């Protein structure tokens, strides 16, 4: 299976990551105090939506009832690992750098060493861990799908379908983050969609919230006049995001004398091409700001007037949720879970991927109507509070793990005790 192209974890960090302290035996005696151990398996670790989602989940679950560890099967960005303090609790099943790997036995060894109650694998790159967990006799195995790979938007190869079918059948739970992804992966794995659950992503609606002071501060920082229409987006600069479509639409708006500016937050392999596109255009050269990767996303969103997501494919976009919580009107492609996120009542603001004119026309309507922008932004904020709060997401995962564990005779009480039900009653 092919790994993502990000910086490989240095050898010394890989070796350190493998030195996990052995966990207690799975056979838990009555009266012993022990948290529910969960190992989250991902292919890679870096600046991605799935990775940040895992970190938010671990923080939200807390340490009273749960003990969380992360295991990677391919690569990790060493700067990301250090920035989030993951060095001591990260396990790596990555090999010596071969392009195609099948780290089944390395994963089994890690699971045997740590002895988790639950292994939770994510996406295609972590799917081998399902079989490894079963070989290691992990009590509960959960798998979730969080999006698409750009090469598989039209479907996945036959070998992947077959492997997904087998792996899904070996899990205790399978879920996706949207109903659309549920249907997609049911088709791709020849699985009944009723076998697959849905847990939506969540956003911290206190952190991501409208702020007039943040808006003024960021606009002064980037020399953006108060009256200028700022079109913004947040995400990795990769082909599937199709930020070139946003730049083309912005150029057409500037031709029509719309006082517009593009603010792109994120880094990635498309930076050089996008930067060149902006600098070579007489209209765009002073109207595009590339911020790069930033830990100030909540502030930067407040500097925007319209959030644009021109992606060719999406699972459930975390940045779309963050923009909604910030109270921004949205223009996005009609792909993946975007309709599910923004709701039918705002479906007119979705456009066909690659349709630059469709994107342009929607932004033009918003550019000429500040009251409409305010109305749509308020509706987005209300929807995020109602349906997509981080607290609601944490409750859903808490229930998922607790119920699945209890069904296998392992319970985690409110006092933080994980023990065998049979040993309590026997």
Domain identity same for 190 and 219: no
Domain identity same for 257 and 167: no
Domain identity same for 97 and 244: no
Check residue 313 and give its pLDDT. Answer: 87
Q: pLDDT digit string (tens) for 117-147? A: 999 999 988 999 999 999 999 999 999 999 8
> pTM, whole model, 2 decimals?
0.82
Beta bridge partners of residue 236, listed in sequence order:
none
Domain identity same for 197 and 54: yes
Distance CA 57, CA 400 (A): 12
Q: To 5 degrees, how large is the angle CA 407–CA 409–CA 410? A: 100
* Res. 89 pLDDT band, cuts 50 70 90: confident
Q: Are 229 and 331 in contact (CB under 8 A)?
A: no
Domain identity same for 124 and 140: yes
Domain identity same for 163 and 244: no
Strand runs labelled E in 118-224 = 118-122, 140-145, 173-176, 196-198
Separation of CA 383 from chain center: 19
The predicted model gives 269-291 an average pLDDT of 97
Burial code (b: 16+ CB inside 10 Å, e: under 16) for 86-107 equals beeebbbbbeeeeeebebeebb
Domain identity same for 142 and 283: no
Percentage of the chain beyond pLDDT 70 is: 85
The predicted model gives 152-161 an average pLDDT of 75
Percentage of the chain beyond pLDDT 90 is: 72
Total tally of structural domains belonging to the chain: 2
Answer yes or no: is 6 within a domain. Answer: no
- Does the structure show a pLDDT above 70 at 239? yes
Domain identity same for 264 and 158: no
Distance CA 349, CA 360 (A): 11
Domain identity same for 118 and 230: no
Check residue 325 and give its pLDDT. Answer: 98
Q: pLDDT digit string (tens) for 103-116? A: 899 999 999 999 99
* DSSP assignment letter at 124: G
**Distance (Å) of CA 11 to CA 18, 94, 103, 125:** 11, 10, 17, 21
* Res. 315 pLDDT band, cuts 50 70 90: confident
- Does the structure show a pLDDT above 60 at 404? yes
Q: Which domain holds residue 57?
A: 11-202+389-425
Distance CA 309, CA 243 (A): 8
Domain identity same for 297 and 310: yes
Check residue 11 and give its pLDDT. Answer: 35
Check residue 99 and give its pLDDT. Answer: 57
Q: pLDDT digit string (tens) for 168-185? A: 999 999 999 999 999 988
Answer yes or no: is 89 within a domain. Answer: yes
| Higher pLDDT, residue 33 or 53 | 53
* Res. 148 pLDDT band, cuts 50 70 90: confident
Check residue 394 and give its pLDDT. Answer: 97
CA dihedral 268, 271, 273, 274 (to 10 degrees): 120
| Higher pLDDT, residue 391 or 315 | 391
The predicted model gives 54-61 an average pLDDT of 95
Answer yes or no: is 2 within a domain. Answer: no
Mean pLDDT across the chain: 87
The predicted model gives 224-235 an average pLDDT of 97
Answer yes or no: is 380 within a domain. Answer: yes
Domain identity same for 374 and 420: no
157-166, 332-341, 370-379: range with lowest mean pLDDT: 157-166
Q: Are 94 and 107 in contact (CB under 8 A)?
A: no
Q: pLDDT digit string (tens) for 357-399? A: 999 999 999 999 999 999 999 999 999 999 999 999 999 999 9
Domain identity same for 314 and 357: yes
Distance CA 305, CA 232 (A): 8
* Res. 87 pLDDT band, cuts 50 70 90: confident
The predicted model gives 61-82 an average pLDDT of 91
Check residue 36 and give its pLDDT. Answer: 96
Residue 346 belongs to a domain with what CATH number? 3.40.50.2000
Which residues, at least 6 apart from 405, have a Cβ–Cβ distance to it below 8 Å?
A: 36, 117, 118, 139, 140, 411, 412, 418
Strand, coil or helix: what is 141?
A: strand
Distance CA 307, CA 99 (A): 37
* Res. 153 pLDDT band, cuts 50 70 90: low
Answer yes or no: is 366 within a domain. Answer: yes
Answer yes or no: is 5 within a domain. Answer: no
Answer yes or no: is 124 within a domain. Answer: yes
Check residue 154 and give its pLDDT. Answer: 62
* DSSP assignment letter at 239: G
* Res. 23 pLDDT band, cuts 50 70 90: very low
Beta bridge partners of residue 68, listed in sequence order:
38
């Amino acid at each position: 299976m092919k790994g993502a192209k990000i910086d490989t974890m240095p050898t010394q960090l890989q070796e350190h990551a493998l030195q996990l302290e052995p966990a207690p035996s799975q056979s838990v005696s009555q009266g012993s105090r022990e948290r529910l151990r969960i190992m989250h398996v991902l292919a890679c670790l870096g600046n991605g939506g799935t990775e940040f989602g895992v970190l938010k989940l671990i923080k939200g679950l807390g340490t009273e009832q749960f003990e969380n560890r992360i295991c990677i099967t391919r690569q990790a960005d060493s700067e990301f690992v250090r920035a989030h303090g993951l060095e001591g609790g990260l396990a790596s099943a990555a090999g010596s750098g071969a392009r195609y790997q099948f780290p089944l036995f390395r994963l089994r060894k890690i699971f045997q060493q740590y002895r988790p109650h639950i292994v939770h694998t994510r996406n295609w790159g972590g799917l081998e861990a399902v079989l490894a967990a079963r070989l290691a006799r992990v009590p509960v195995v959960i798998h979730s799908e969080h999006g698409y790979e750009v090469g598989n938007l039209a479907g996945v190869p036959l070998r992947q379908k077959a492997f997904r079918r087998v792996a899904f059948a070996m899990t205790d739970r399978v879920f996706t983050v949207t109903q659309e992804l549920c249907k997609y992966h049911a088709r791709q794995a020849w699985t009944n969609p009723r076998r697959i659950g849905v847990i939506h992503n969540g956003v911290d609606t206190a952190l991501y919230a409208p702020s007039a002071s943040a808006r003024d501060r960021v606009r002064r920082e980037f020399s953006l006049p108060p009256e200028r229409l700022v079109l913004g987006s947040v995400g990795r600069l990769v082909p599937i995001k199709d930020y070139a479509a946003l730049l083309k639409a912005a150029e057409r708006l500037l031709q029509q004398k719309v006082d517009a500016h593009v603010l792109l937050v994120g880094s990635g392999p498309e930076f050089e091409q996008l930067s060149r596109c902006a600098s070579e255009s007489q209209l765009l050269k002073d109207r595009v700001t590339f911020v790069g990767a930033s830990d100030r996303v909540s502030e930067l969103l407040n500097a925007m007037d319209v959030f644009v997501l021109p992606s060719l494919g999406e699972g459930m976009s975390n940045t779309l949720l963050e923009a909604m919580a910030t109270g921004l009107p949205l223009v996005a492609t009609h792909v993946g879970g975007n309709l599910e996120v923004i709701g039918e009542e705002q479906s007119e603001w979705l456009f066909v991927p690659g349709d630059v004119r469709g994107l342009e026309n929607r932004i033009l309507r918003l550019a000429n109507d500040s009251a409409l922008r305010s109305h749509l932004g308020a509706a987005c904020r209300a929807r995020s509070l109602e349906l997509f709060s981080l607290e609601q997401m944490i409750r859903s995962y808490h229930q998922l793990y607790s119920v699945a564990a209890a069904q296998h005779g392992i319970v985690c009480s409110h006092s933080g005790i994980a023990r065998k039900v049979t040993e309590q009653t026997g």
